[in-house]
Amino acid sequence: MTKPVLWIAAAFCLALSVGPLALLASTASKADPADLYLVIDVGPALPARQVAALGGRDVGPTRGALARMVHAPPAVRQQLLDAGHFLLPAGALAAICGVGADRFTASLGKT
Amino acid sequence: MTYLKSLTPVNMVLALATLLALAVAMTALIVGAALIPVIAVSLGCLGFGWAMARSQPKLAPIGAAVALMGQAIAFTTAFQGHPWQLDSHMLFFALLACLTGLRSIAALLVATVIVALHHVSLSVLMPSLIYPPGAFMENLARTKFHAVILVVETIALAATVHHLNRVAREMQAQTKALEASLQDADAAQRQALASKELAETAQHDAVEAQTAAEAALEQARDAQEVRRLAEKEKQMADDARRAADAAKAREQADVVDRLRFALTRLEGGDLTIRITQAFPAEYETLRSEFNAAMQTLEDMVSVVAQRSEQMEAEVREISSATNDLARRTEVQAANLTQTSDALNSLTRSVQENALSVEEAHRSSLGAQSSAQASGTVVAKASEAMQAIKTEASEIAKIVTLIESISFQTNLLALNAGVEAARAGEAGPGFAVVASEVRGLAQRSSDSATSIRALIERSGAEVQNGSDQIIETVGSLKTVESTISEIPARMNLITASTQRQSDQISSLNGSIAEMGAVTQKNAAMFEETNAACTKLADGAKALRALTQHFQVSDGVALSDKVA
């Protein structure tokens, strides 16, 4: 393919992906109704014992390569946010699949 | 001026996108949206469009469209969860209308596709986040309605851009025509100025030419006097030349007359004509070359006449030899035909011999089987003889027993006679009986003796017959072995006869080929004879042509040849 065709194809890919990505990113600062979050673990290291020391706990038998699922009550969530971690509410991911979408949508106004 | 030139439609749209990026950030702050994702979308689309416009100049309008429509996407993202989010979609239609300033239908289409892909991605990939649960199909219909409006707007805008472009092209063409007219006017003005300069130069040259013409007129008068004197001298020279030409013409006429006379003689066939009287010096070469040519021609015609005569005689001999050869060839062809017929007859005889040999072969096989059967019969006869001989020996034993019985009976009869003599008066009758018994015993002994003799003779005859049969068996075996050799000999004779037949057939084929070649030779001889006849006619015609000429010995070639 020629360069102009590649540029136009890239513009279309950008248009396809920018909406869902922006929607997901906008939920990052929202509180999850079930206090479950996906912690993006590419920044400062987050040992399991630190999560436990804050009062949270890991969810699931194994830990992912780039992220981990944690149960963090509001106080723990605020401490993790203050420590600079990026928290994605698990309800947002579930809502993509239609699970609890109305409940999560209703909670978007909360911080 | 430079600033105005830099305000191209692409730069203006990019500047509008930049201003909108600031407005989007302000809006996100006001409505309390997540600032980072909104700014990321806004700046990401702006940077992508700017990079596309700078790296691909041909795609600059499309890059500007991407940057501008990205701001609409960021703007609606900022209203995520806000009641006015649906109203924020008006910005898509407004910015799409702004793109008409680019005057690029491609940019309009790409912007439309970007808007459609953005909404399709959210509707299809994340419908649960966009529409309330259970209202997917209803909202999908709303999306289709928006899409129809978008398509209609795009078509209207594309038509507008197309019209604007067409008007721009017409204005551009008119501008070019006007510029060309101005250039033509400038060129005409420059040409008029140049013509004026040329006219002034020509006027100056005319004045100089008039002065030169007056000087030339004076020189012409002098030249006319000189020419008059020259013409007088030329008149005198012409008179002298005409006199010389007349003398030369007389000489040429004399030469031509003598040449005409010689050529007339040559036309009459006289090759002995020579020009003996000398020509003027300049034509003497012509006379000598004419005489040399005539000598060469005379020699050549003499040689041609002699050669044509010889050729006619030789052709006649060749024709005679060819006729003789043709006759011999025909005789040879006839002989070959007879030989071929004889060989055909010989072939048939050999084939008949082969058939006879085959029949003899079959007869010899029959004789062999008959001899084998005779041997078997004779062997059986020999066995019968042996049985007779054995039975004869048994008969001889019985005869010996009979002789022993008759001897004992004789002895008993003798004893009975003795006893009868002792018996007294009763004895004579008993003696008669004893005498009769003794007689019977004697006859029995005589008969046994005769039978023995017969048996001995019969045994001798049987022995003789057995010997004869043994000899016969040996002779039959010899005959059988001799007959058994006959088929092999017959096979050899059959093979030899077949080879002879094949060789004779091959010989017959060769003779047939020789006959065909001989026929061709005969035909070629006839053609050669015809060619010789034509050659003889040609030689005769050539000789007739040469007889027209007369050579140096004073007689015509016809008389000389005759």
Do the Cβ atoms of B262 and B276 come closer than 8 Å? no
Do the Cβ atoms of B273 and B265 come closer than 8 Å? yes
Cβ contacts of B79 on chain A, cutoff 8 Å: none
Instruction: Tell the residue number behind the tokens 């702004």, with chain if given.
Output: B98
pLDDT of residue B189: 81
Question: Would you call B118 and A18 a contact, using CB atoms and an 8 Å cutoff?
Answer: yes
| Mean pLDDT of the B207-231 span | 78
Instruction: Tell the residue number behind the tokens 């630190």, with chain if given.
Output: A50
Question: Would you call B77 and A23 a contact, using CB atoms and an 8 Å cutoff?
Answer: yes
* Confidence class for position A100, pLDDT limits 50, 70, 90: low
* Confidence class for position A44, pLDDT limits 50, 70, 90: low
pLDDT per residue over B455-469, tens digit each?
A: 888 888 888 888 888
pLDDT of residue B112: 92
> Is the per-residue pLDDT at B559 higher than 60?
no
Question: Would you call B126 and A96 a contact, using CB atoms and an 8 Å cutoff?
Answer: yes
> Is the per-residue pLDDT at B207 higher than 90?
no
pLDDT per residue over B313-324, tens digit each?
A: 888 888 888 888
Show which of residues 33-62 on chain B sit within 8 Å of chain A, judged by CB atoms.
33-34, 36-38, 40-41, 44-45, 48, 52, 55-56, 58-59, 62
Q: What is the pTM of this model?
A: 0.42
> Is the per-residue pLDDT at B177 higher than 50?
yes
The residue of chain B nearest to residue A26, with distances taken between CA atoms, is B34
Q: Which residues contact B107 (CB under 8 A, 6 or more apart)?
A: B61, B62, B64, B65, B99
Distance (Å) from the alpha carbon of A91 to chain B's nearest alpha carbon: 11
pLDDT per residue over B237-246, tens digit each?
A: 888 888 888 8
Q: List the structure tokens of B394.
A: 């048994």
**Considering only CB atoms, which residues of chain A are within 8 Å of chain B?**
3-4, 7-8, 10-12, 14-23, 25-29, 92, 95-98, 101-102, 105, 108-109
- Which of B43, B117, B139 is the best substitution to test chain A (most A C-beta atoms within 10 A)? B117
Distance (Å) from the alpha carbon of B131 to chain A's nearest alpha carbon: 9
Among B132, B69, B72, B138, smallest CA distance to B102 is for B69
3 state DSSP class of B89: coil
* Confidence class for position A109, pLDDT limits 50, 70, 90: very low
Interface residue B134 vs chain A (CB under 8 A) = no
Question: Would you call A95 and B81 a contact, using CB atoms and an 8 Å cutoff?
Answer: no
For residues B101 and B9, what is the distance between their CA atoms, to the nearest angstrom? 6
pLDDT of residue A1: 61
pLDDT per residue over B72-100, tens digit each?
A: 999 998 888 788 888 888 899 999 999 98
pLDDT per residue over B154-163, tens digit each?
A: 999 999 999 9
**Parts of chain B belonging to CATH 1.10.287.950:** 299-546
Q: Which residues contact B46 (CB under 8 A, 6 or more apart)?
A: B17, B18, B21, B67, B70, B71
The residue of chain A nearest to residue B132, with distances taken between CA atoms, is A102
Cβ contacts of A105 on chain B, cutoff 8 Å: 81, 129
Q: What residues pair up with A88 in beta bridges, in sequence order?
A: A38
Architecture of domain B299-546: Orthogonal Bundle (1.10)
Distance (Å) from the alpha carbon of B157 to chain A's nearest alpha carbon: 21
> In this prediction, does ipTM exceed 0.85?
no
* Confidence class for position B42, pLDDT limits 50, 70, 90: very high
Average pLDDT, rounded, for chain B: 84
* Distances from the Cα of B358 to the Cα of B351, B352, B370, B454, B495, angstroms: 10, 10, 18, 54, 11
For residues B113 and B119, what is the distance between their CA atoms, to the nearest angstrom? 10
